C-alpha cells in the first residue's frame, strides 16, 4: 500500500512539474495570423513564415497565400503576442471552433410564394451551366443520384480547382457535376473529402441537386427532390468534422475556393451567438470579404440559437444571412387514448406497436426515482437520470419539455435506454420541428394537446394509449412560420445593420444523404438515399441555389445586386394571405426573418440597391477601424483612400443596403439616404408608399422617382422623427412601385 502511495505521489509530481513548465513556456495553441490582402507585400509574410518554420518544426498548419496572406500555426501565448507586433500583421487570434447550423420546399416556394425555379426566359433551370457553387461543410458523397452528371458538358475552363484523393475517395469520384473536392488537416477524424456526417451532402443537394423522381425517406415526403439550381456544378470543401469546424481551416478553404473559380459560396455553419464583433478576427467575415471583392456571392446561415434576441451570427454586411421557416408539409403521428380520443401529434416515427390503445401510459412525474437528487418537476420533464428504470420499462412515457440543458434527442435516448415502449413529448417548439425517432414510437404535441393528455392520465386509474406511425400531410396552414430555433436580430455587432437578411425553408427538409450512413437507417432496412433534417443549415442552400440561378441569368450582377433582388422581392404573407408569424403565434418582425420569406421573382426585381466595396470600407471606418487595418483587409482599397471626416457609428445607417436600420434613436430627426438602380431598362416612374408604426413619422423625399434609359440611378432621403412614445424597436417598410414591380425595403428604428 505504501509503495502504491509513493508511486501515485511520484506521478502527481511529474504532472505538476509538467503543468508548471507549461505555464512558464506557454501552451502551444493554434493561432491564426492574418496579414491582409494578397496585394500587400509578400516579403513580411515570407519572412515570418520562414523564421517560424526554422524555429518550430511542424508549427505551421495552413498557409494563406492566394487571395489573402497569413497562416495558422501552433504558438505559445507569448509568441502570439510577439507575432501581433510584427510588420504587416493585421491580427493574431485563437483558432475558433465553429459549428454546423443544422422535395417539397421548392414546390412550396413556387406555387405558394411565387418563386419560379424553371426559367421562362432563356433556358430551364435544369439545363447544365458553368455556374459553380462552392459548399464549405462536411464534404460530399458524390455517388448519390442528385449528383449524377448525365447531360453535363465539359468542366468549365474557368475552374482551377482539384479533386483530392483521400480515404475511400479518389479523383475519379468527381465528375462533371461534382467538379471539385478538397479536405484539410486538423479536422480530427478522416482525411478525405468524403462526407462521413451527411450534412454536407444534404446541403449541396438542396442547393444544386439534380431532379430525382420518387424521392422519400422510407416512403415519407414522397415526391421529386431537386436543388435550387440543378444546372449548377458543385465544389465541396470539407472544413468540418468530429471536432466541429476550425476557423483556420475555413479561412484556408476560402483562400482555395476564390482561387479555384467558384461563383457562389454556401456556408451552413458559424459561431455561437455573440461571437465578435471584431470582423478582423472572424474567419468567415475575413474570407467572405475577399470573396465578395472578387464578385463571389457568400450565403451563410443565421444560426440556431433562436429565439433569443441578438442571437444571429454571420452578420457582416457583405454576407447574405438566412433565417429558417417552415413549409406547408407536416409530419403527423396520431396518439389514440384509451377513451378513443385521437390527439394529433407530430414528428417522424415508423412505430410498429399495437394500433389499439392497449399500452400503459405513464406520466413522467409518476416515474421519479426514489432518493434522487431530482425533484418532481425534473421527472415530469423527463430529465435524464430523474426517472426510475423499473417504472419506465414497457410503458409509453408522457414527458413535458422545457428548453434548457437537455435536448429532445438526449431525453429520447435516455427513455429508450430505460426500456420504454414509446414517448409522448409536450412542447410547442418540438411540435414545430419534425424530430425523427426512427422505429421508436414517439410523438410530439403542443401544450394545448398536451394538457388534454395530462388530464386523461390524471383522471384514469389505468390510462392507456398508442402511437401511430407518421404520415406526411401537405397543404398545411399557416405556412411559412419562422422556426423557433432560427436565430434572431438585432445584430450584436451593430444595430445599424438589419440582420438576418431574408428567410427560406429550413424545417423538415428532404434532401440526399450518404448511402452508408447508419444514423438515418432503420433496423433491417437498406440505408436511405434521402433524409429529413431541420436547421438554418437547410435554409442557407435554398438561397445559395437561388443565387446561382439569378447569377446565370444576370452574369454581370454584383453580389450586392443579387442580394438586393432577393431581399426586395421577399414576401411577408403566408399561404392564408395573412402576415407571417413566428412559432409562438406572434407576427414576425424583421428581427425574425429580415426582409421576409424568399418569394415573388428575384429574376425581375425592377430596382436594386447596389452596395459597393467602398460602402463596406466606409462601414469599417464607421465602426472604428483604422486605415492601416482596413488597407490590409481589402485587396481593392484605392491608394488615396481615407475615412470620411464625419465617420461615426450612426453613419452606418447610410450604407446603401436593401434594408434600413437606425439605432440610438432619441426621437429627434434622423435622415438616411439610399440609391436605387433601374434594371428593367424601360423609362419608368416609381411612387413610394410607407408602412410606419404609431408614434413614428416617416417622410420620403422625393416621393416619385423618374428613370430613363440614360438615367438609371436615383437617390432618395428618408427622414425619421418621433411624434409620440416608441418602444425599444419600431418596424416598418418603404415600398416603391411602378405598377409592374414592387420593391420593398424593411426598416427598424431602435433606441
Active site residues: 137, 199, 537
Distance CA 523, CA 442 (A): 16
Residues 660/673, Cβ–Cβ less than 8 Å: no
Say if residue 680 is exposed, middle or buried (CB neighbours under 10 Å; 0-12, 13-18, 19+): middle
Residues 550/556, Cβ–Cβ less than 8 Å: no
- Spell out where 570-629 has E strands: 581-582, 607-608
- The rounded Cα 466 to chain-centroid distance in angstroms is 37
Residues 398/453, Cβ–Cβ less than 8 Å: yes
Four-CA torsion 184, 187, 189, 193, nearest 10 degrees: -30
Dihedral sign of CA atoms 636, 638, 644, 645 in order? positive
Residues 175/149, Cβ–Cβ less than 8 Å: yes
Would you call 492 helix, strand, or coil by DSSP?
A: coil
Would you call 742 helix, strand, or coil by DSSP?
A: strand
Which three three-digit cell numbers place residue 206? Answer: 438542396
Say if residue 626 is exposed, middle or buried (CB neighbours under 10 Å; 0-12, 13-18, 19+): exposed
DSSP code at position 167: T
Residues 507/327, Cβ–Cβ less than 8 Å: yes
Distance CA 733, CA 659 (A): 9
- Comparing C-alpha atoms, which of 548, 547, 544 is closest to residue 506? 544
Distance CA 290, CA 437 (A): 42
User: How many residues in the chain?
Assistant: 751
For strand 233-238 and strand 132-137, is the pairing parallel, antiparallel, or unpaired?
A: parallel
| Residue 611: C-alpha distances to residues 190, 551, 619, 675, 701 (Å) | 40, 17, 11, 9, 21
Based on DSSP, count helices (H) and strands (E) in the chain, helices before strands. Answer: 17, 40
Residues 38/46, Cβ–Cβ less than 8 Å: no
Amino acid at each position: 500500500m505504501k509503495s502504491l502511495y509513493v508511486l501515485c505521489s511520484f506521478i502527481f509530481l511529474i504532472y505538476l512539474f509538467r503543468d508548471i513548465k507549461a505555464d512558464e513556456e506557454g501552451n502551444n495553441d493554434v493561432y491564426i495570423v492574418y496579414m491582409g490582402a494578397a496585394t500587400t507585400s509578400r516579403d513580411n509574410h515570407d519572412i515570418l513564415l520562414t523564421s517560424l518554420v526554422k524555429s518550430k518544426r511542424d508549427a505551421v498548419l495552413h498557409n494563406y497565400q492566394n487571395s489573402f496572406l497569413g497562416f495558422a500555426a501552433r504558438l505559445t501565448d507569448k509568441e502570439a503576442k510577439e507575432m501581433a507586433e510584427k510588420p504587416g500583421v493585421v491580427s493574431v487570434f485563437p483558432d475558433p471552433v465553429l459549428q454546423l447550423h443544422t422535395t417539397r420546399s421548392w414546390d412550396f416556394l413556387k406555387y405558394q410564394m411565387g418563386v419560379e425555379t424553371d426559367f421562362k426566359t432563356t433556358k430551364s433551370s435544369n439545363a447544365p451551366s458553368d455556374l459553380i457553387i462552392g459548399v464549405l461543410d462536411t464534404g460530399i458523397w458524390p455517388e448519390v443520384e442528385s449528383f449524377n452528371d448525365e447531360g453535363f458538358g465539359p468542366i468549365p475552363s474557368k475552374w482551377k480547382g482539384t479533386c483530392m484523393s483521400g480515404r475511400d475517395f479518389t479523383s475519379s469520384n468527381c465528375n462533371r457535376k461534382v467538379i471539385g473536392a478538397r479536405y484539410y488537416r486538423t479536422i480530427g477524424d478522416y482525411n478525405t473529402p468524403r462526407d462521413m456526417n451527411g450534412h454536407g451532402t444534404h446541403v449541396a443537394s438542396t442547393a444544386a441537386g439534380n431532379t430525382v423522381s420518387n424521392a422519400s425517406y422510407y416512403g415519407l415526403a414522397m415526391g421529386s427532390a431537386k436543388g435550387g439550381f440543378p444546372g449548377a456544378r458543385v465544389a465541396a470543401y470539407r472544413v468540418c468534422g468530429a471536432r466541429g469546424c476550425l476557423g483556420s481551416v475555413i479561412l484556408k478553404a476560402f483562400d482555395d475556393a476564390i482561387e479555384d473559380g467558384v461563383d457562389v459560396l454556401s456556408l451552413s455553419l458559424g459561431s455561437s451567438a455573440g461571437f465578435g464583433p471584431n470582423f478582423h478576427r472572424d474567419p468567415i467575415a475575413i474570407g467572405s470579404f475577399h470573396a465578395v471583392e472578387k464578385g463571389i456571392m457568400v450565403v451563410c446561415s443565421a444560426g440556431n440559437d433562436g429565439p433569443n434576441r441578438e442571437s444571429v451570427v454571420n452578420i457582416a454586411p457583405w454576407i447574405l444571412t438566412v433565417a429558417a421557416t417552415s413549409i406547408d408539409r407536416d409530419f403527423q403521428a396520431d396518439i389514440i387514448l384509451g377513451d378513443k380520443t385521437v390527439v394529433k401529434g407530430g414528428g417522424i416515427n415508423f412505430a410498429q406497436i399495437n394500433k389499439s390503445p392497449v399500452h400503459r401510459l405513464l406520466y413522467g412525474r409518476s416515474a421519479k426515482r426514489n432518493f434522487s437528487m431530482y425533484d418532481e418537476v425534473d421527472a415530469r420533464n423527463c430529465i435524464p437520470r430523474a426517472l426510475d428504470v423499473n417504472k419506465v420499462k414497457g410503458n409509453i412515457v408522457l414527458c413535458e419539455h422545457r428548453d434548457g440543458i437537455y435536448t429532445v434527442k438526449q431525453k429520447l435516448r435516455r427513455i429508450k435506454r430505460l426500456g420504454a415502449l414509446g414517448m409522448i413529448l409536450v412542447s410547442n417548439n418540438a411540435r414545430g420541428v419534425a424530430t425523427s425517432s426512427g422505429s421508436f414510437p414517439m410523438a410530439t404535441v403542443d401544450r394545448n394537446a398536451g394538457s388534454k393528455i395530462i388530464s386523461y392520465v390524471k383522471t384514469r386509474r389505468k390510462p392507456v394509449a398508442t402511437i401511430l406511425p407518421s404520415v406526411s400531410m401537405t397543404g398545411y396552414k399557416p405556412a411559412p412560420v419562422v422556426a423557433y430555433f432560427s436565430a434572431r436580430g438585432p445584430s450584436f455587432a451593430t444595430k445599424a445593420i438589419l440582420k438576418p437578411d431574408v428567410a427560406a425553408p429550413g424545417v423538415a427538409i428532404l434532401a440526399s444523404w450518404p448511402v452508408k450512413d447508419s444514423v438515418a437507417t432503420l433496423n433491417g432496412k437498406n440505408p436511405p438515399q434521402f433524409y429529413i433534417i431541420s436547421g438554418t443549415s437547410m435554409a442557407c442552400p435554398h438561397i445559395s441555389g437561388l443565387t446561382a440561378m439569378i447569377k446565370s441569368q444576370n452574369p454581370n450582377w454584383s453580389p450586392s445586386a443579387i442580394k438586393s433582388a432577393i431581399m426586395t422581392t421577399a414576401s411577408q404573407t403566408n399561404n392564408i394571405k395573412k402576415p407571417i408569424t413566428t412559432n409562438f403565434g406572434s407576427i414576425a418582425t424583421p428581427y425574425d426573418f429580415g426582409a421576409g420569406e424568399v418569394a415573388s421573382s428575384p429574376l425581375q426585381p425592377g430596382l436594386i440597391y447596389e452596395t459597393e466595396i467602398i460602402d463596406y470600407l466606409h462601414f469599417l471606418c464607421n465602426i472604428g477601424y483604422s486605415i492601416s487595418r482596413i488597407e490590409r483587409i481589402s485587396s481593392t482599397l484605392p491608394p488615396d483612400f481615407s475615412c470620411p471626416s464625419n465617420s461615426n457609428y450612426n453613419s452606418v445607417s447610410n450604407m446603401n443596403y436593401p434594408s434600413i436600420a437606425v439605432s440610438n434613436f432619441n426621437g429627434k430627426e434622423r435622415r438616411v439616404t439610399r440609391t436605387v438602380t433601374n434594371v428593367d431598362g424601360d423609362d419608368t416612374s416609381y411612387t413610394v408608399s410607407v408602412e410606419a408604426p404609431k408614434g413614428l413619422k416617416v417622410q420620403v423625399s422625393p416621393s416619385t422617382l423618374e428613370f430613363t434609359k440614360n438615367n438609371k440611378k436615383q437617390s432618395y432621403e428618408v427622414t425619421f422623427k418621433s411624434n409620440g412614445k416608441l418602444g425599444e424597436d419600431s418596424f416598418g417598410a418603404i415600398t416603391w412601385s411602378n405598377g409592374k414591380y414592387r420593391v420593398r425595403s424593411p426598416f427598424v428604428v431602435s433606441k
